[in-house]
Amino acid sequence: MSLAGKKIGILCGGESEEREVSLKSGQAIYKTLKDEGLDVVKMDVDRKMLKKIEREKIDVAVLALHGGWGEDGTIQAVCKLMRIPFTGPDVLGSALALNKVMAKKIFKSESIPTPPWKVISQDEITREGYLDNFIKKLGEELGLPMVLKPALQGSSVGLKVINEKMSLKSSIKESMKYGKCLLVEKYLRGTEVTVGILGLGSDLEPLPVVEIVPKRGVYDFKSKYTEGQTQYIVPARLPKKLYEKAQLLALQAFKALNLDIVARIDMLIEEDRNLYVLEANTNPGMTATSLLPKAALAAGYEFPKLLRRMIELAMKRAAQ
């Protein structure tokens, strides 16, 4: 499929906690496509985005927005309304994947293994005695250590690993500043891996498994975006059967969340045998330290080829 004569808009920036990472992704994509000789424009998305998109008259959008309304289905719905093909999953898949609580419920209903969890909202914290009872249940049902994850954030924004019960109450209150709902998950020790999926409909390609080895032990925001803080091994050092099982489980999670075009499924391997799906990332980072480009390169997709493939899939979906 030729991209000649098509004006490609790179939508990046936004207003989420991940704005700076998004700008880096956008710049990397812009430079690569520009070097390919394509007609491309980089757009810092804000609340005037409708007018910006209309003014630029783009034919297709490459979404490099992370978190917030860049991943929750909002910008996807805007593009659909304006009949502009866009990369990444559609409205429903984006919304389901970004909402960690909804994703967990779907994983459970589809018998996809995921670590045990509990949920608490901002409203519930204000009720007298509720938080103390909730913490008691956490101790009984999950035990320490446990992980706090804001339900509507990506890139491990606000993620905390709690090892001591005495710090749990204050940590829950602190994490609530990132949203109105908090996922509390049992912390499982093991090897973190991720699998990118590329494709549309029944034609889906699992990319090579990436093994994630953070120097600090926890793969948080700092480990993700500070060069040298995490080692990425492609392909992951796994037995063949476990490696293939990881790719199959990623495909299952991808389909369960109604995803298409591209997404990354993050998983954990406990004791070198038990696989658990942690979450899905529908707008994976495209920076120098990003995982999806590393996996794609190992599969034979150099960065320009990966971007072209994503854009072609977006145009194909829009034409269906």
CATH number at residue 32: 3.40.50.20
Q: Are residues 207 and 275 in the same domain?
A: yes
pTM of the model: 0.91
The reply to whether 112 falls in a domain is no
Q: Are residues 198 and 288 in the same domain?
A: yes
Q: Are residues 240 and 195 in the same domain?
A: yes
- Pairing type for strands 7-13 and 60-63 reads parallel
Closest to 111 in 3D by CA, of 255, 268, 263, 211 = 255
Adjacency order of strands within the sheet including 39-45: 39-45, 7-13, 60-63
279 is annotated as an active-site residue:
yes
Query: Among 99, 281, 283, 290, which one carries the catalytic annotation?
Result: 281
Angle at the Cα of 279 (from 276 to 122), degrees rounded to 5?
A: 115
Q: What pLDDT is recorded for position 229?
A: 67
Tokens 């909402």 identify what position?
A: 99
Residues 6+ apart with CB under 8 A from 179: 122, 150, 151, 152, 153, 158
Q: Are residues 161 and 267 in the same domain?
A: no
Q: What pLDDT is recorded for position 290?
A: 86
Tokens 């954030």 identify what position?
A: 153
Q: Are residues 205 and 247 in the same domain?
A: yes
Q: Are residues 152 and 44 in the same domain?
A: no
The reply to whether 111 falls in a domain is no
The reply to whether 147 falls in a domain is yes
The answer to whether the beta carbons of residues 210 and 194 sit under 8 Å apart is: yes
18 is annotated as an active-site residue:
yes
Q: Are residues 310 and 245 in the same domain?
A: yes
281 is annotated as an active-site residue:
yes
Q: What pLDDT is recorded for position 102?
A: 95
- Pairing type for strands 7-13 and 39-45 reads parallel
Query: Among 17, 192, 266, 312, which one carries the catalytic annotation?
Result: 266
Q: The domain that contains 122 carries what CATH number?
A: 3.30.1490.20
Total domains, the chain: 3
Query: Among 30, 225, 276, 301, which one carries the catalytic annotation?
Result: 225
Closest to 117 in 3D by CA, of 42, 26, 183 = 183
The reply to whether 143 falls in a domain is yes
Closest to 78 in 3D by CA, of 54, 44, 110, 111 = 54
15 is annotated as an active-site residue:
no
Q: The domain that contains 290 carries what CATH number?
A: 3.30.470.20
Q: What pLDDT is recorded for position 220?
A: 52
Q: Are residues 173 and 242 in the same domain?
A: no
Q: Are residues 216 and 297 in the same domain?
A: yes
Q: Are residues 145 and 77 in the same domain?
A: no
Q: Are residues 205 and 304 in the same domain?
A: yes
Query: Among 279, 283, 290, 308, which one carries the catalytic annotation?
Result: 279
Q: What pLDDT is recorded for position 224?
A: 55
Q: What pLDDT is recorded for position 81?
A: 93
285 is annotated as an active-site residue:
yes
Residue by residue, pLDDT tens for the chain (320 residues) are: 789 899 999 999 988 888 898 999 999 999 999 999 999 999 999 888 888 888 999 999 999 998 888 899 999 999 999 999 999 999 999 999 999 999 999 999 999 999 999 999 989 988 989 999 999 999 999 999 999 998 877 646 678 889 888 888 888 888 888 878 999 999 999 999 999 999 999 999 999 999 998 776 555 555 555 566 678 999 999 999 999 999 999 999 999 999 999 999 999 999 778 999 999 999 999 876 789 999 999 999 999 999 999 999 999 999 98
How many residues are there in the chain? 320
Among 95, 127, 142, identify where a domain stops. 95
The reply to whether 1 falls in a domain is no
Q: What pLDDT is recorded for position 226?
A: 55
Range of the domain at 243: 189-319
User: How many angstroms separate the CA atoms of 75 and 81, rounded?
Assistant: 10
User: How many angstroms separate the CA atoms of 282 and 124, rounded?
Assistant: 29
User: How many angstroms separate the CA atoms of 311 and 81, rounded?
Assistant: 18
35 is annotated as an active-site residue:
no
Q: Are residues 272 and 169 in the same domain?
A: no
Element at 61 (helix H, strand E):
strand 60-63
The reply to whether 100 falls in a domain is no
Q: What pLDDT is recorded for position 4?
A: 87
